[in-house]
Amino acid sequence: MKNSIPCIYCHHPLYQLSDGMVKCSVCKKKYSPMRVDQIKSLIQLFCCDENALATSKTLNLSYVTTLKYYQKFRHLAAEYCEAQYETFRTQESQYEEYLYLEKSKRHNKAAIFDSHNFLTFGYGNSIYTLLMPSLGVFKQQFLEDNLEEVYTKEFSKFMRTSKIIKISEHDNVITRFWHYFEQFITPFKGVSNEFFPYYLKEAEFKFNTPQQQRADILEKLYFRPSGLGI
């Protein structure tokens, strides 16, 4: 039996199966329409900045399952950011270095090695971020060599950088992103080094993309024939 809704992957006609699933007449993919609606709801809530815990309760899903989907969406957002960068990388740009450290650690000098260092490039009203190597790789060597002066200098540099968003009167796209990023990342109360690059790219994606366009972009990436799929 033919279904009036086109295939989510290739937009060709679907056939309704007796078990409630649908199957595409061209790409042959088989899936549950209810599952597709659930994933679209997950994407919508992710794009509206709903956290994984709240989303899991709203959609009656396990927190672990919801978190896995959110990580998939962050990977797709990162992929989209890289593709977008290719479209404006030849434009004239400006950039600044930024050191981010969660607020609870900012009064601890030793925590400088836990900071995340990234470059922020400004292209018109959009930005692109490039994560730099962690200072943590130098921690043991600094301590072993007793480089107190260098250590203090690095910490002072961090303190100056972290205050830019508070004292700068030069309102440009880079400082606006720093404001946005601080507000975005704070509710997570600490992100591991492993996942920080994807949270950074999520912030970049959301900063560059109007909210009403975010879900459409992620849906197209998620449900493309070569994408993550259901």
List the Cα angle 24/28/31 in 5-degree steps: 65
- Cβ(77)–Cβ(202) under 8 Å? yes
Burial class from Cβ neighbours inside 10 Å (0-12, 13-18, 19+) for residue 230 reads middle
The reported pLDDT for the residue numbered 87 is: 84
The reported pLDDT for the residue numbered 163 is: 46
d(CA 156, CA 165): 16
SS3 41: helix
d(CA 165, CA 171): 9
SS3 183: helix
DSSP 70-136: HHHHHHHHHHHHHHHHHHHTTS--EEEEEEE--GGGTT-GGGGGG-EEEEEEEETTEEEEEEPPPGG
The reported pLDDT for the residue numbered 156 is: 54
d(CA 100, CA 115): 5
Residue pLDDT tens, the chain, 230 long:
556 788 888 888 888 898 889 998 888 888 998 999 999 999 999 999 999 999 999 999 999 999 999 999 999 999 999 999 988 877 777 888 888 877 777 666 666 677 788 989 988 889 999 998 776 666 666 666 655 455 556 555 555 454 444 434 455 889 899 999 999 998 988 788 889 999 999 999 999 999 999 999 999 999 987 655 55
